[in-house]
Structure 1
Amino acid sequence: MDAAVRLDTSGALCPMPILEIAKAMRGLPPGTVVELISTDRGLEADLPAWCEATGNPLLRMERRGASYVGWVRKAG
């Protein structure tokens, strides 16, 4: 999936991956797709919950080896 912004938070633990995507989203125009990469397995639960709370659609989640990857589209 093509993303305009790629955030690699590998090595960072909760809540840093969510804080990083929240910070990145503030400066982006609506419709922008952000790819978030994390080695924190909590992302599987945290990212969908954050998307639901903020209204930013979660497009896809997948696991790549030791990494968890999610794609989120900025609402607007």
Structure 2
Amino acid sequence: MEAAVRIDTRGALCPMPILELAKAMRALAPGTLVELVSTDRGLEADLPAWCEATGNPLVRMERRERLYVGWVRKAG
């Protein structure tokens, strides 16, 4: 899946991955696909919850060994 923006938060713990995503989303146009990469296993719960709370659709979530990768589309 090809995202327009990739946010790499490897090594950062909660709440930093979500905060970095929220910061980046403010500057993006509606419809932009964002890939968020993290080593924080809390992302599996935090990202879907954040998407539901903000209305930004969670397109996909994957676990790749020690990485958690989520794709979110900017609502608008």
- Measure the CA separation in 2 of the matches of 1:70 and 1:49: 12
- Measure the CA separation in 1 of the matches of 2:59 and 2:51: 10
- Measure the CA separation in 2 of the matches of 1:35 and 1:3: 6
Q: Which runs of 4+ in 1 moved over 4 A?
A: none
Matched length: 76
Correspondence for 2:37: 37
Q: 2:52 corresponds to which letter in structure 1?
A: E
TM normalised by structure 1 equals 0.99
Structure 2 counterparts to residues 38-57 of structure 1, below 5 A: 38-57=38-57
Extract unaligned runs of 5+ from structure 1. none
Correspondence for 1:62: 62
RMSD of aligned residue pairs (Cα, Å): 0.3
Extract unaligned runs of 5+ from structure 2. none
Q: 1:54 corresponds to which letter in structure 2?
A: T
Q: 1:51 corresponds to which letter in structure 2?
A: C
Correspondence for 1:26: 26
Identity %: 84
Correspondence for 2:10: 10
Q: 2:19 corresponds to which letter in structure 1?
A: L
